[in-house]
Structure 1
Amino acid sequence: MADDSDNEKTEDPTAKRLEDARKKGQIARSKELGTTGVLIASAVALIMLGDKLGISLMEVMQSQFQLERDDAFDPKKVFSVFGAVIENISAPLAGIFAIILLAAFIANSLLGGINFSWEAMAPKLNKMSPLKGLKRMFGLQAVVELVKSVLKVLVVATVAVLLIKVYLFDILYLSIQDLPNNTFDATEMLAWIFLGLCCSTIIIALVDVPYQVYNHTKQLKMSKQEVKDEYKNTEGNPEIKGRIRQAQREISQRKMMAEVPNADVVVTNPTHYSVAIKYDVEKSSAPYVVAKGADIIAMHIRTIAKERNVAIVETPLLTRSIYYTTDINQQVPEQLFVAVAQVLAYVYQLDQHQKGKGQKPKPLAKNLQIPPEMRH
């Protein structure tokens, strides 16, 4: 029977669990971070383009006050005036809206990144359940949201009081200023006060972001049994492991077969085993195996050797000995040096004879020197 501790969600989510949650649209998000970014961007946009917007609105008001009575009742004139108004204020308004939209996109992507999920957009009937709705209303998340709301009010109210104290003299001085100077000063002052109030929400965001990361991780925590099952269903699955091993074998065989044309000789059983041997003084102090195989692979090695004019020598006892004692890219055992040397010498003499540079060598001795402990 499974231990109860295996079912307790104590383990951090795995990479696969996080990726699956992301596909479902379950990622850490902070509404406070997005709200803070939008508010601060709005204040900055007003400071940057507020003067242009104010001048445009003033020009619009002046033109409207100068409108003749007959023009006010002329539909054509009304539409032309309306078009002039839109043209006048569209540029500063477009700049302000562009800054706000850009800030909204960036601020909401800072935590969790950019993610698009069709599954998250699909309607879910369980979210329409009244019982679950009540549970959300009176659950821990609702308490957290209430605490955040109270904290926001306290922080913003405190900052507002401080800003009023800082700008109190300037506010009172507006009453003795002349138009339109007091209007421009008041607008600028309001923009900076608004920016200060918006910046106060950074405190809320700094608290909310770590909480959202913690809450997201907590929701995705796994039990030890879930971690075991996930491993079994992915890397631990026998079928997947079998396919991985098969792919590894195929890759290894392709590499091995590519080395057969570089071999000095291929010794055979002659039907069941084949071993390709190479002796390169610069790479190794002794002959080493570049390829070996049994049955179908052995036949494939012999086929490649014939196609590339690599010498094939039938030495059943030596072939089996090397096959069972030596791995790929490994030197042949010291006990087999003499036998392998005889084979290489025979191949060399045969090659020289075929080139017309020597006599035909005597047939290779059938009873090569193979120690009893190396025989298979």
Structure 2
Amino acid sequence: MAEDPESGGEKTEDASSRKLGKARDEGQVAKSVEIPSVFVLMAGVAAMYAFAFYFYQNLMGVFQFNYNFQGVPDFTRLEAIRLLYVHTEKILMTCLPVFGAVYLTALLANFAQVGFVVSWKALEPKPSRLDPINGFKQKFTSRAVVEFLKTLIKVGVVCLVCYYAIKGELTEISRLYDNSTGAILLFILKVSFWIFIKVCLIMIVLAFLDYAYQKWKFLEDQKMTKKEVKDETKQTEGDPMVKSRIRQLQHEAARKRMMADVPEADVVVTNPTRLAVALKYDREEMDAPRVLAKGAGPIAANIRKIARENDVPLVEDKELARNLYSHVDIGKEVPVEYYQAVAELLAYVYGLKNK
């Protein structure tokens, strides 16, 4: 796969949902023009079959109007306008069922492929589209070659089907001169109907093959380089260095708030130098003693320092300090399993303070 010098490397990574969404907003979707074409053709055939008698009546009316002269018509300008109006109305009314079925089917076929997409960006004027050199280059891309081959196959298929269909009816065609106008019309409708059916069956296969190719080609074109994936991750999730700095600031702010609560503690449990846990109990506001602050290493040393400066008792209890540090978060109450040990500790402290 070719390298993309602007994005920094070879496109080997699958497109992210963000990039696919952006491409969709710009009107770039995996879409096959053959899917609507074949369904439009099928809708036209179905409409012709369903309204065959209606077509027959209208066409017979046109033939009778034009070839059943009561006399020599006076072909004036007014008569020419009247004839144009009459024939235009007849043609439109005859084709209206087919037009309606084809239009509705084309909308549904496109909606089934890509859903409801309205992209104003795709309609924006771009100077690059007026560049004749770029336009010439587009004629020799892999997509253009595939489209050219696809067109040749479609034309070839239609020609072969028509050839063999007409060839099989040559005997019947040679005897049409002896039939009525109505019989000739019915024969043309019948042969045309079966030609359409055969063409549709072949075009359905080609349409689904083309859709699979267009889907694959679209996903290949949307692939990303490793640098693009990394840049997009930074945009969506943030730069890892910035996020790390934010977390660091948050931890520092939380530590400052924690240290500000140490003077309110009733006791600081130590083990004695590595850990420190500050506890407070207010029977009117708390159901159980609460951990106001905890830390290890330098943080523990700072907690002990603040406790000494504010006359908060320091009590050494290695096991209790280790358990509270490991199992109780800051601001949480002491679990039931530590009630006995904490109660004894607080009783000792309260005794020192003559409470």
TM-score range, shorter chain: 0.5 to 0.7
Report the AA paired with residue 225 of structure 2: S
Query: In structure 2, what is the equivalent of residue 31 of structure 1?
Result: 33
Identify which of 261, 265, 290 aligns with 1:269: 265
SS in 1 for 2:12: strand
Query: In structure 2, what is the equivalent of residue 163 of structure 1?
Result: 165
Identify which of 33, 37, 43 aligns with 1:41: 43
Indicate yes or no: 2:220 matched with 1:224. no
In the aligned structure 1, how far is the partner of 2:119 from the partner of 2:200? 31
Indicate yes or no: 2:142 matched with 1:140. yes
In the aligned structure 1, how far is the partner of 2:48 from the partner of 2:38? 15
CA displacement at 1:36 relative to structure 2: 1.9
In the aligned structure 2, how far is the partner of 1:220 from the partner of 1:108? 21
Report the AA paired with residue 40 of structure 1: M
CA displacement at 1:13 relative to structure 2: 0.6
Normalized against structure 1, the TM-score is what? 0.62
In the aligned structure 2, how far is the partner of 1:150 from the partner of 1:196? 18
| Pairing of 1:167-186 with structure 2 (within 5 A) | 167-186=169-188
Report the AA paired with residue 42 of structure 1: G
| Pairing of 1:52-201 with structure 2 (within 5 A) | 52-63=54-65, 65=68, 75=78, 90-201=92-203
SS in 2 for 1:10: coil
Confirm or deny: 8 A CA contact 1:273 1:323 kept in the other structure: no
In the aligned structure 1, how far is the partner of 2:73 from the partner of 2:109? 51
CA displacement at 1:160 relative to structure 2: 2.6
Normalized against structure 2, the TM-score is what? 0.65
Output one character per residue of 1:284-333: Cα deviation in whole Å (capped at 9) or x when no partner.
xxx999x9777xxxxxxxxxxxxxxxxxxx99989x99587414998845
Report the AA paired with residue 204 of structure 2: I
In the aligned structure 2, how far is the partner of 1:219 from the partner of 1:23? 16
Q: Tell me the matched-pair count.
A: 297
SS in 1 for 2:31: coil
* Structure with the larger RCO, 1 or 2 (CA within 8 Å, 6+ apart): 2
**More displaced, 176-185 or 34-43?**
176-185
CA displacement at 1:179 relative to structure 2: 3.8
SS in 1 for 2:116: coil
CA displacement at 1:341 relative to structure 2: 6.5
Confirm or deny: 8 A CA contact 1:43 1:192 kept in the other structure: no
In the aligned structure 2, how far is the partner of 1:80 from the partner of 1:128? 45
For structure 2, the residue ranges without an aligned partner over 5 or more in a row are 248-263, 267-277, 294-311
CA displacement at 1:127 relative to structure 2: 1.8
Identify which of 353, 356, 367 aligns with 2:349: 367
In the aligned structure 1, how far is the partner of 2:22 from the partner of 2:64? 60
Confirm or deny: 8 A CA contact 1:9 1:224 kept in the other structure: yes
Query: In structure 2, what is the equivalent of residue 298 of structure 1?
Result: none
Report the CA distance shift for 1:80/1:172 in structure 2 as closer, same or farther (over 3 A): closer
Report the CA distance shift for 1:222/1:66 in structure 2 as closer, same or farther (over 3 A): same
Report the CA distance shift for 1:117/1:179 in structure 2 as closer, same or farther (over 3 A): closer
In the aligned structure 1, how far is the partner of 2:199 from the partner of 2:128? 39
CA displacement at 1:52 relative to structure 2: 0.7
- Identity rate, percent: 31
Report the CA distance shift for 1:29/1:35 in structure 2 as closer, same or farther (over 3 A): same
In the aligned structure 1, how far is the partner of 2:61 from the partner of 2:98? 19
In the aligned structure 1, how far is the partner of 2:39 from the partner of 2:280? 71
SS in 2 for 1:115: coil
In the aligned structure 1, how far is the partner of 2:281 from the partner of 2:162? 87
Identify which of 13, 16, 26 aligns with 1:14: 16
Confirm or deny: 8 A CA contact 1:53 1:89 kept in the other structure: no
